[in-house]
């Protein structure tokens, strides 16, 4: 349960005091309704409940979402923003509806998706066109040939109403259609957040110097070690970012120690990072290959070079004497399907922004944007990139990487890219146009 709460709180974080608000809501929801959300244990029978139909009706001002089920069930409903979503947690269900049917915009519902998770539970997620208020949530028993129903009625509201009202309620509806009075305790607990002092609104960047300790990483012919080089560079980047002041900064390591790949990801998630940047310097057989490259996460590598590098970097734990987990807990997270696509888009946005900033100051590789299955980039809710500063197997790159003047230019460009990235993200959410990296 602790790991689930940690994942939920990391995913639901918003700017300023809303991170604490949403965490309190989720903590209270789990406390009141149990980890199984919709009280699936109470309704586990020999015959599974079947979802027979799902439909949306109404207008852009008032909409209804209706679920036809084979028998009445409890359900829990709560809201998320960025983007606006409504989450309906149910007991384990059999969905006898086509997944593609939800990919149509109708009324206040842009689309919806559904499925099972964690064995005994099911979830339906509505992507909303606008912020809403839940004005009705209830169940109806079957009547003659008419199946039982779950009805959720939504009203379009302003964003501040959505944040202050809709996001504060975790609403549980009993089988008989009554709303559990305990949800009032959730709202009461979260209302105290309004009086809490505001948090630092600046985004948090976690810098991850690769390797360390027993894992030295790549080594040049002259004996320059990757783990030492990237730590020096990361410290210089941290110092510059703190001087510029537009972001908060943390590091996964600040001395020559080994940290597992999964621990690096866990550190970023525990800190609720807004951006994760892993710093490396590679070696290859071809000594003529040189230049910086930015990698993002992908199940399928963009090319053979990216695939080889990912395999090499993912062996860090094994080389340090740790067993590599076959099933990554982060990737198996129950919320990954809701967040991974959004995070991937933001990672790609930062990759483009970073390459655009670096190309005016340092040499880039022939293909500066690549992707592969790097384990250290697998946080489902944090935009993440891995930066190969250059190749220690190339004499010119090695000289550049060891040069203070080169490091200063690279650090300045990375700082600039982060400022541009977060400005673009904020202006995208407000509908404005952000300036280019240049």
pLDDT for the residue 7: 43
Same domain, 125 and 189: yes
C-alpha to C-alpha distance for 221 and 285, rounded to whole angstroms? 12
pLDDT for the residue 101: 62
pLDDT for the residue 31: 45
pLDDT for the residue 337: 52
C-alpha to C-alpha distance for 90 and 148, rounded to whole angstroms? 14
Is 222 part of any domain? yes
In terms of pLDDT, which residue wins out, 179 or 333?
179
Confidence bin at 32 (pLDDT 50/70/90):
very low
Give yes or no for residue 436 having a pLDDT over 80.
Answer: no
Same domain, 215 and 185: no
In terms of pLDDT, which residue wins out, 38 or 18?
18
C-alpha to C-alpha distance for 203 and 421, rounded to whole angstroms? 11
In terms of pLDDT, which residue wins out, 4 or 400?
400
Is 436 part of any domain? no
In terms of pLDDT, which residue wins out, 161 or 268?
268
Same domain, 354 and 283: yes
Give yes or no for residue 409 having a pLDDT over 70.
Answer: yes
Confidence bin at 227 (pLDDT 50/70/90):
very high
Of 195, 216, 240, the one marking the end of a domain is 195
Same domain, 98 and 176: yes
Mean pLDDT of the 218-223 span: 88
Specify which of 25-29, 73-77, 229-233, 429-433 reaches the highest per-range mean pLDDT: 229-233
In terms of pLDDT, which residue wins out, 40 or 365?
365
User: In Å, what is the CA distance from 235 to each residue of 85, 206, 208, 228?
Assistant: 39, 12, 10, 11
Confidence bin at 131 (pLDDT 50/70/90):
very high
Is 437 part of any domain? no
Give yes or no for residue 262 having a pLDDT over 60.
Answer: yes
Give yes or no for residue 400 having a pLDDT over 60.
Answer: yes
C-alpha to C-alpha distance for 436 and 377, rounded to whole angstroms? 25
Same domain, 169 and 145: yes
Burial environment of residue 232 by CB neighbours within 10 A (0 to 12, 13 to 18, 19 or more) = middle
367, 374 in Cβ contact below 8 A?
no
369, 298 in Cβ contact below 8 A?
no
Is 435 part of any domain? no
Give yes or no for residue 175 having a pLDDT over 50.
Answer: yes
C-alpha to C-alpha distance for 26 and 5, rounded to whole angstroms? 7
Angle at 59 between CA 58 and CA 65, to 5 degrees: 40
Same domain, 115 and 230: no
C-alpha to C-alpha distance for 78 and 47, rounded to whole angstroms? 27
Dump pLDDT digits (tens) for 355-387.
999 998 999 999 999 998 888 898 888 999 999
Q: What is the CATH number of the domain that holds 257?
A: 3.40.630.40
Give yes or no for residue 104 having a pLDDT over 60.
Answer: yes
pLDDT for the residue 325: 53
C-alpha to C-alpha distance for 203 and 274, rounded to whole angstroms? 6
Of 165, 195, 225, the one marking the end of a domain is 195
Domain that holds residue 307: 204-430
Same domain, 261 and 147: no
Same domain, 269 and 418: yes
Same domain, 177 and 253: no
Is 438 part of any domain? no
* pTM for the predicted model, two decimal places: 0.53
Mean pLDDT of the 160-170 span: 80
What is the 3 state secondary structure string of 286-348?
A: CCCCCCEEEEEECCCCCCHHHHHHHHHHHCHHHHCCCCCCCCCCCCCCCCHHHHHHHHHHHHH
11, 19 in Cβ contact below 8 A?
no
Is 401 part of any domain? yes
Give yes or no for residue 277 having a pLDDT over 90.
Answer: yes
Give yes or no for residue 412 having a pLDDT over 70.
Answer: yes
Counting the structural domains of the chain, the total is 2
Q: What is the CATH number of the domain that holds 58?
A: 2.60.40.3500
Give yes or no for residue 340 having a pLDDT over 90.
Answer: no
370, 295 in Cβ contact below 8 A?
yes
DSSP state of 280: E
Same domain, 120 and 233: no
Is 275 part of any domain? yes
Same domain, 98 and 131: yes
Dump pLDDT digits (tens) for 79-98.
888 788 888 888 888 888 77
Confidence bin at 37 (pLDDT 50/70/90):
very low
Of 147, 168, 195, the one marking the end of a domain is 195
Where on the phi/psi map is residue 62: left (φ > 0), alpha (ψ -120 to 50), or beta?
A: beta
pLDDT for the residue 33: 44
Confidence bin at 65 (pLDDT 50/70/90):
very high
The two most distant CA atoms of the chain are separated, in Å, by 83
Angle at 36 between CA 34 and CA 40, to 5 degrees: 115
227, 220 in Cβ contact below 8 A?
no
5, 170 in Cβ contact below 8 A?
no
Same domain, 379 and 353: yes
Is 6 part of any domain? yes
pLDDT for the residue 379: 86
């Amino acid at each position: 349960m602790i790991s689930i709460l940690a994942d939920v709180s990391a995913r639901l974080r918003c700017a300023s005091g809303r991170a604490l608000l949403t965490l309190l809501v989720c903590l209270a929801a789990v406390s009141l309704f149990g980890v199984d959300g919709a009280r699936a244990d109470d309704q586990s029978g020999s015959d599974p409940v079947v979802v027979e139909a799902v439909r949306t009706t109404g207008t852009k001002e008032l909409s209804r979402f209706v679920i036809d089920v084979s028998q009445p069930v409890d359900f829990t409903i709560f809201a998320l923003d960025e983007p606006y979503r409504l989450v309906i947690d149910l007991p384990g269900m059999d969905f006898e509806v086509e997944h593609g049917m939800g990919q149509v915009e109708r009324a206040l519902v842009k689309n919806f998706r559904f499925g099972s998770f964690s064995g005994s539970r099911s979830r339906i997620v509505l992507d909303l066109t606008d912020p809403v208020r839940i004005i009705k949530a209830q169940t109806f028993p079957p009547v003659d040939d008419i199946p039982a129903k779950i009805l959720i009625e939504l009203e379009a509201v302003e964003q501040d109403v959505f944040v202050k009202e809709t996001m504060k309620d975790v609403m549980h509806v009993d089988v008989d259609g009554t709303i559990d009075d305990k949800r009032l305790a959730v709202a009461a607990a979260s209302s105290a957040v309004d009086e809490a002092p505001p948090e630092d609104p600046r985004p948090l960047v976690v810098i991850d110097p690769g390797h360390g300790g027993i894992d030295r990483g790549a080594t040049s012919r002259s004996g320059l070690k990757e783990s030492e080089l990237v730590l020096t560079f990361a410290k210089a980047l941290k110092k510059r970012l703190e001087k510029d002041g537009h972001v908060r900064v943390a590091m996964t390591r600040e001395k020559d120690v080994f940290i597992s790949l999964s621990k690096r990801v866990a550190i970023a998630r525990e800190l609720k990072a807004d951006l994760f940047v892993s710093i490396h310097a590679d070696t290859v057989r071809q000594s003529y290959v040189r230049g910086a490259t930015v990698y993002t996460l992908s199940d399928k590598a963009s090319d053979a070079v990216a695939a080889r590098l990912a395999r090499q970097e993912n062996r860090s734990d094994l080389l340090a004497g740790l067993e590599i987990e076959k099933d990554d807990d982060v990737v198996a997270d129950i919320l990954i399907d809701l967040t991974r696509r959004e995070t991937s888009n933001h990672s790609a946005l930062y990759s483009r922004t970073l390459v655009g900033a670096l190309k005016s100051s340092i040499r880039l590789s022939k293909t500066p944007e690549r992707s592969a299955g790097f384990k250290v980039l697998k946080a489902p809710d944090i935009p993440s990139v891995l930066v190969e500063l250059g190749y220690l197997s190339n004499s010119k790159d090695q000289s550049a990487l060891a040069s203070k003047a080169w490091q200063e230019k690279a650090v300045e460009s990375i700082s600039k890219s982060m400022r541009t990235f977060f400005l673009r993200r904020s202006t995208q959410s407000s509908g404005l146009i952000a300036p280019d990296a240049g």
